[in-house]
Structure 1
């Protein structure tokens, strides 16, 4: 087998020939965090209401960790509370979300977060198709409320 040595100038040529063409689009970035606006809002100890927040995509560990939690073993319905406390990263100015925080949500806010969790982790998006009751036109609505005025 014959080996060929490469000089500095040849290395520049090889690098340029094997470089990715500038007109090739970069792969899309995976969205891992989603903003939301709670229907009613979390009421803190001082009576302040917090409605906007963020939820991140769940990992396999997030899905498995609640299964060894004693509260979940005693009451399987508590699974969603523990799971949401792991993936909700912010509600208003509150950045440390514990199971107790999720417990204090209104039922409508809990249902909203459960649905958002299902949409972003199982379906991969927060869009829902809706139909206008007046004109019968169908369109998509972002349930995460990522744009101003949406919820």
Structure 2
């Protein structure tokens, strides 16, 4: 069975306007549309780094008791939590580099090498 949703816990947590802390949530696998449609968003066209905010607002389906996950919620995350969600997104969608062991043809020493994901 394909798992399409993953639960997570933020290192620090999102603090809403009332001061409530939200740390647990759910992220779903990204679809092609999740990665394509944000490219049409003027905020992304004017500032490509904003893509991660739009992407995460589409795939984070639950964050504590927050009623709606939108770009404003993602913008309000602490940096450590944003990095945590980016890493989770990359891992569950198979976008992390693969580490392989390679052997030097001259001396026979083995070393670890990263093979970036397709398109990376």
Find the counterpart in structure 2 of residue 86 from structure 1: 58
Matched, 1:60 2:32: yes
**C-alpha displacement at 1:94, in angstroms?**
1.4
Q: Specify which structure has the higher proportion of strand.
A: 2
Unpaired runs of at least 5, structure 1 = 1-28, 125-151
Q: Deviations over 1:110-149 (max 9, x none)?
A: 000000000000259xxxxxxxxxxxxxxxxxxxxxxxxx
Matched, 1:72 2:72: no
Find the counterpart in structure 2 of residue 106 from structure 1: 78
**1:1-151 correspondence runs (5 A):** 29-122=1-94
Runs of 4+ more than 3 Å apart? none
Unpaired runs of at least 5, structure 2 = 97-120
- Quote the RMSD (CA, aligned, Å): 1.2
Quick check: 88-97 or 100-109, which moved more?
A: 88-97
**C-alpha displacement at 1:96, in angstroms?**
1.3
Q: Is the 8 A contact 1:89 1:95 kept in 2?
A: no
TM-score, normalising length: structure 2: 0.78
TM-score, normalising length: structure 1: 0.62
Instruction: Give the paired residue count.
Output: 96
SS of structure 2 residue aligned to 1:122: coil
